[in-house]
Amino acid sequence: MNDSSSSSQTIGSTSHLIETAKRLMADDKGLLAMDESVATCNRRFAK
């Protein structure tokens, strides 16, 4: 694989990632990233 091919793949992947992120965040949607289990979160919010 030459440098230009690798660069094109990176640009294409970046564009795809940006488009995906825009769709996920459209219309007041969002993402919740958490490093706790659902059960732990439920206990925290129940307090």
Model pLDDT for residues 1-47, shown as the tens digit of each residue: 445 555 666 777 899 999 988 888 888 877 778 899 999 989 988 98
pLDDT at 26: 85
Evaluated on CA atoms 34, 36, 37, 43, the torsion sign reads negative
The full set of domain ranges for the chain reads: 3-46
b/e burial code for range 1-13 (CB count within 10 A of at least 16 → b): eeeeeeeeeeeee
